Amino acid sequence: MKTENNAIVSVKGIQYIDGEKLETELVAEGYYKYSPEKISVIYNEYDRDTGIKTISELTVTGGHIVLCRDGGQNTRMEFEKGVKCVGYYELPFGSFNISTTVSSIENNLTVMGGSLYISYNLSLDRLTTTQNDITVSVRLKG
Domain tally, the chain: 1
pLDDT attached to residue 3: 57
- Judge whether residue 71 has pLDDT over 70: yes
**Helices marked H in 3-142 — which ranges?**
none
pLDDT above 90 for 101:
yes
Q: What is the pLDDT of residue 91?
A: 76
Of 128, 99, 118, 112, residue with least CA distance to 11: 118
Residue 1 lies in a domain: no
Residue ranges making up the domain that contains 112:
7-140
Under 8 Å between Cβ of 135 and 12: yes
Contact (CB, 8 A) for 68 and 56: yes
Calculate what percentage of the chain has a pLDDT beyond 70: 97
Q: Which of 41-55, 108-122, 126-140 has the highest mean pLDDT?
A: 108-122
> Coil, strand or helix: which one is 118?
strand
Beta bridge partners of residue 109, listed in sequence order = 114
91 within domain boundaries: yes
Q: What is the CATH number of the domain that holds 49?
A: 2.40.128.20
Decide if 106 contacts 116 (C-beta within 8 A): yes
Q: Is residue 35 part of a domain?
A: yes
Q: Is the pLDDT of residue 72 over 80?
A: no
Domain-embedded: residue 126 = yes
Tell me whether residue 103 is in a domain: yes
Question: What is the spatial distance between Cα 35 and Cα 59, in angstroms, rounded to a whole number?
Answer: 11
Nearest to 118 by CA among 108, 126, 127, 128: 108
Q: Is residue 1 over pLDDT 50? A: no
Rounded Cα distance between 141 and 47, Å, is 25
